[in-house]
Amino acid sequence: MQQAALKNIALLIDADNASHAGIDPVLTVLAELGQVNIRRAYGNWAKPTLSKWSKITHRFGLQPMQQFDLTKGKNATDMAMTIDAIDLLYRGKVDGFGIMSSDSDFTPLVTRLRQDGLIVYGFGSEKAPEAFRTACTRYIDVDRLIHTAAKDDDERPEQEGESEALDADVIELLGSAWKAASRDENGFARLQEVGQIAGNRSSFDVRNHGYKKLADLVRAKSDRFKLEKRENGQLYVKRLR
């Protein structure tokens, strides 16, 4: 049987507002969507502040896109990224985008891309404006992503401080998604469906809370949710309180 073609993903990096240390885990996340064939990093490469980005462009196959600072205190990076993204959109050869930045100026761009049905993952800091974070299909805190990626696959997240990471808003989001999902006579819903509903309602991503999988997060909150694996291999979840 012929395999389906991999989706074509474009990663556009605002090098002035993104950490070079996050590129490896960011590419790993985008691999969930497809093949990252377009990798462009924008900025004024004459600046010493971009020297760390310069050192890794060949290693990660990044295409440096030079943008001179035409006006003091301003740069042309945002505009160049926006123009290129719209060009890629109208060529019809890109299935999804990764925008690596914490700049709220990209909010209209992300909104426009999503209106055409494209998935847009945002990667930036925890302090990025809410408008940009919520506009993305998923918004992922790069610092937390780096921390999570550094852990061994079998290592469980630390138990202390979980109440801080898994705050009431997250519990309520998952609880509402469980309530909206199809449940059996015992009140269990497919974990995959719960995750999809939660993702559609916000830019929620478990990696922002130090977990690689939604199942790990749910297991950590066994006082709130019950998780069980059925004979079909699928995971089901039930809210306890």
Q: What's this model's pTM, rounded to 2 decimal places?
A: 0.71
Neighbour count for residue 192 (Cβ, 10 Å): 15
- For a pLDDT cut of 90, what percent of the chain falls above it? 39
Say how far apart CA 99 and CA 45 lie, in whole Å: 19
Average pLDDT over residues 92-105: 93
Q: What is the pLDDT of residues 75-96, one digit of tens each?
A: 578 889 999 999 999 999 899 9
Mean pLDDT in residue range 30-47 = 90
Q: Which residues contact 231 (CB under 8 A, 6 or more apart)?
A: none
What's residue 163's pLDDT?
47
Q: What is the pLDDT of residue 70?
A: 63
Q: Name the nearest CA neighbour of 52 among 78, 11, 23.
A: 23
| Amino acid code (one letter) for 28 | T
Q: Does the 162-239 domain belong in CATH 3.40.720.10? A: no
> Looking at residue 200, what is its pLDDT?
63
Of residues 180 and 48, more confidence is placed in: 48
| Model pLDDT for residues 122-179, shown as the tens digit of each residue | 999 988 999 999 999 999 999 888 877 666 444 544 444 444 545 677 788 788 888 8
Q: What is the pLDDT of residue 234?
A: 84
* pLDDT, tens digit (0-9, with 9 covering 90-100), for 179-200: 888 888 888 888 888 887 776 6
For the record, the structure tokens of 53 come out as 């980005």
pLDDT at 162: 47
For residue 94, the number of C-alpha atoms closer than 13 Å in the C-beta half-sphere is 25
CATH fold group of domain 8-149: Rossmann fold (3.40.50)
The sign one gets for the Cα dihedral 71, 75, 81, 82 is negative
pLDDT value for 202: 59
Number of H-type helices and E-type strands within the chain: 10, 9
Residue scoring higher pLDDT (88 or 230): 88
pLDDT at 61: 92
Residue-averaged pLDDT of the chain: 83
Does the structure show a pLDDT above 60 at 219?
yes
Asked if residue 4 has pLDDT above 70, the reply is no
Contact 137, 200 (CB under 8 A): no
Q: In what order do the strands lie in the sheet with 225-229?
A: 189-190, 235-239, 225-229
Check residue 152 and give its pLDDT. 45
For the chain, the domains span 8-149, 162-239
Q: Measured between alpha carbons, how far is 123 from 72 in angstroms, rounded to an integer?
A: 27
**Section 202-222 average pLDDT:** 76
Rounded Cα distance between 103 and 16, Å, is: 10
Q: How confident is the model at residue 203 (pLDDT cuts 50, 70, 90)?
A: low
pLDDT at position 207 over 80: no
